[in-house]
Structure 1
Amino acid sequence: MTAHNWIDLAQDDETGIETLRAHFQGHAYDPHWHDSYLVGVTEQGVQQFNCRRVQHRSTPGSVFLLEPGEIHDGDAPTDDGFTYRMLYLDPHWLERELSAVFEEAPASTCLSFASTLSTDPRLAMATARAFEVMHQPELRIVRQHALDTLLQALTTQLHWRKQYPHDPRLPGVARLAREYLHERMHHNVGVDDLASVTGVDRFRLNRAFKAAYGLAPHAYLVQLRLASARRLLARGEPCAEVAMTLGFADQSHLGRWFVRAYGLTPALYRKRCSNVPDA
């Protein structure tokens, strides 16, 4: 973090929803993904990011919508930077709450956002209001009403997308390598291991994997570990133990990657998202 950049983060115990308000100038964060649905609104400046192989620019009043696993980055293309508010919605919570709005979900589907950016003023107001009441102490009934309003506004942006065990559009070599990384996330995996499993040389493997998933295999493995680190830290696990469990060289190694992806240290994230006192 620089003197001009700041992050204010909190987590709601009842719903598990994380709320974040942040300001960045220059480079904000490297390509990464989250396990949550992200719903955010830009307050000030121009928020530039790449997602779904397209560069987007979110300006004040715009709502940005990202699904779990969608790779995105962040930069401020103007000198004054950008400020935004974000809600991280747990997928199980979102699907359960929306069951009261949608009819029963079709088989083998998952919720998907129709677009990455929205200029719907109703959704922008609902997002800002939900952030306001979730980010600070407020009556439970007020919080629930704000979330219900947000969910109703979100229904115009959501649809049920067919969920495939394996995306048929992706090459088999990339799928095999990805499965191997997920199964051995905690291990010291090498590119030669992936090449052996997939039956191709390292160079073809790297090209296929990056074309399919937007990241090289080593960067994808780091993101897997960082997503797990967020979950463990939010439960109050000590930073050093999280680093060791997930295969990082040490706590500093975890910290460097965590800051590059999320803009804050693991210790600060743990403090804001758990009730465990600092060690």
Structure 2
Amino acid sequence: MIARPDIKAWSPPVQGITEVFHARFTDHVYPMHTHDSWTLLIVDEGMVKYDLDRHEHGALAELVTLLPPHVPHNGCAVTPQGFRKRVLYLDSTQLSEDLVGLAVDSPVLDDHALRHQIHLLHSSLILPGEELEAESRLALVSERLQDHMQKQVHSRSPLHDPGIARRLRDLLDEHYVDGITLQQASNVLHAHPAHLVRAFSAEFGIGPHKYLTGRRVDLARRLLLDGLPPRAVATAAGFYDQSHLTRHFKRILGTTPGHYARTGSGARTGPVRESAEVGV
């Protein structure tokens, strides 16, 4: 009996990624085929073997695999237990096609930091409302992949560019409710997305996404204390929905928006009693 594969696929609202594909296969064997985009693969369980340009390769759990567009390849599990994988299909805005030959020569990348960054990118793509985080991680992943393809892999030191970092902060401050994509910021500031992310993080000790989210949480706090219900606050503060607000509100403040609002309404009904219960 052939096991039914466990598959999830979607097109994320993030420029540069044409498709996200998560799957677990046991019996499926990929025939020779091609893609018109770059295939960025990480394996979470098992092992995949495949042929690329008449050479056999293996995709292991600790490695990163990058397959170039328009080059035929196949794939199958190495063991009867099958494999579980996560794939990102990247367009030419992330990796140009003049790198295809280099990718054919070296499709397997032994880079634990890069693999972890790809894992975090997948995690951000699962959650709605985290597009700026996904864009930021994608910029760094693409930069690292290009370094590998060009045989210029090195540890990038913190990027000192306070001018561009502060201009990006000003732009985020202007758009923290309505939102701005990293590509839009890149177009306005005439700087590469990865440059923006690394410069901002070096200057302020926090990524653009977390900075923008913090601004939104601050606004949400004020709106909650003004009596606006959490669902309305989520929309007014720029969050995707109430669960998106709750997730970040609790991460930053350690409590839910509803509980936070109730403490404010309780304070308006009368003075807080001075007792051991309130920590005086």
TM-score, normalized by length of structure 1? Answer: 0.48
> Which structure ranks higher in relative contact order (CA pairs < 8 Å, sequence separation ≥ 6)?
1
Say which one has the larger Rg. Answer: 2
TM-score, normalized by length of structure 2? Answer: 0.48
